[in-house]
Amino acid sequence: MDRVAHAARLTLAPLLLTLAVLAAAAPPVCAQAWVPPAGLGSVTVAVQTINNTGHTNTDGEFLQIGRSVNTRIDIEADYALTDRLSLSAGIPFVLARYVDPLPYGPPIPFPLRDECRCWQSGWQDFGFTARYNIVNGAFALTPSVSAGVPSHDYEFRGEAVVGQRLKEVRIAVDAGQRLDAISPRLSVQVRYSYAFVERVLDDVPNNRSNATVEGGFLITRRLAARGLLLWQRVHGGLRFGGSDSSALPFPGDVNTPERMFEHDRLLRDNNWRLGAGTTYSMRQMDVFASYVEFVHGTDSHAGRAFTAGVSWPFEIGRRQTP
């Protein structure tokens, strides 16, 4: 099958749907199970470089087409109002560029923002999170609720876009356990979230589940390392199908003009990813980095992401112990 025929089967998953979860490598997120005492907060700036090396179709076949790159700059502030309740808010600035020398191929539209192979940029979505800790000891349990609201009426069609332009509310729970019986330096955390995503087509639900399993090890008093397993499943969404012999031949569920218009942000992007990260803590800041690689998925982007950033702690109104 030639490249243009492959392009007709590429899956244009939303550019940031999956990789937004990669911010789990940053300290304010990876420590969600344990919460700081009242009056402590942090400001975090993280830069993430994403290299989308291709797509997978509904059969899981990898197609080295539709390649793109983007850079995401996350700015977030977190503050503990009480020993149990903390709030955070942030917004990312995204730069994206289509880098494949060939277009997708008909009938998939090829917008000018991709055709020019130039950088597109803009603010993405405001994010707000409230966490309430239930247990905060060797075992920690913290549910949370988050909201994402587009910052403006940005474009979502194509590869070189800053996001999906969809409102969503996420309910999550984080659980962590220090494994003192094995080593006081070892811990494990799990996170599950369910996102209620704005529905733009009445007959296409697109809510989403995400889960993360993280193992952490304190190498020294200041240096920590972690391994990550990330999973995503879209409850509904659109499928582009696979080869002509597939049970769901191209164009799959993208079979009306309305669905073709919306497919960039409504595909059934199911995937698994693996990663590793490290954090170095100093008196006035934490420095962190992570790397995450695509493992398997359907109707998804394949690729890798590298994240690095700095987190600065602060205190406001904290009561000092006599």
The percent of residues above 70 in pLDDT, for the chain, comes to 88
Question: Residue 105: inside a domain, yes or no?
Answer: yes
Of 32-36, 197-201, 227-231, 262-266, which gets the smallest average pLDDT? 32-36
pTM here?
Answer: 0.88
pLDDT the model gives residue 317: 77
Return d(Cα 262, Cα 64) in angstroms, integer: 23
pLDDT the model gives residue 72: 97
What is the average per-residue pLDDT within 64-78? 95
**How many domains, the chain?**
1
Question: Residue 321: inside a domain, yes or no?
Answer: no
> Which residues are within 8 A (CB) of 139 and not within 5 positions of it... i.e. 6 or more apart?
175, 176, 177, 178
Question: Residue 320: inside a domain, yes or no?
Answer: no
* Residue 244 three-state SS: coil
Return d(Cα 235, Cα 230) in angstroms, integer: 17
In 3D, which of 232, 188, 194 has the Cα closest to residue 33?
Answer: 188
Question: Residue 44: inside a domain, yes or no?
Answer: yes
| Residues paired with 238 in a beta bridge | 267
Structure tokens at 188: 């494990």
Band of pLDDT at residue 275, cut at 50, 70 and 90: very high
Q: Above 50 in pLDDT, residue 16?
A: no
Question: Residue 27: inside a domain, yes or no?
Answer: yes
**Could you report the per-residue pLDDT of 114-159, keeping only the tens digit for each?**
999 999 999 999 999 999 999 999 999 999 999 999 999 999 999 9
| Residues paired with 278 in a beta bridge | 225, 289
Band of pLDDT at residue 246, cut at 50, 70 and 90: low
What is the average per-residue pLDDT within 161-188? 96
Q: Above 70 in pLDDT, residue 171?
A: yes
Band of pLDDT at residue 31, cut at 50, 70 and 90: low
pLDDT the model gives residue 186: 96
3-state secondary structure 175-224: EEEECCCCCCCEEEEEEEEEEEECCCCCCCCEEEEEEEEEEEEECCCCEE
> Which residues are within 8 A (CB) of 245 and not within 5 positions of it... i.e. 6 or more apart?
none
Query: Looking at residue 216, which CATH number applies to its domain?
Result: 2.40.160.40
Question: Residue 174: inside a domain, yes or no?
Answer: yes
Question: Residue 279: inside a domain, yes or no?
Answer: yes
Structure tokens at 123: 């603010």
Q: Cβ(42)–Cβ(314) under 8 Å?
A: yes
Question: Residue 13: inside a domain, yes or no?
Answer: yes
What range does the domain containing 84 cover? 3-315
pLDDT the model gives residue 245: 59
pLDDT the model gives residue 318: 65
Which position has the token pair 């179709």? 57
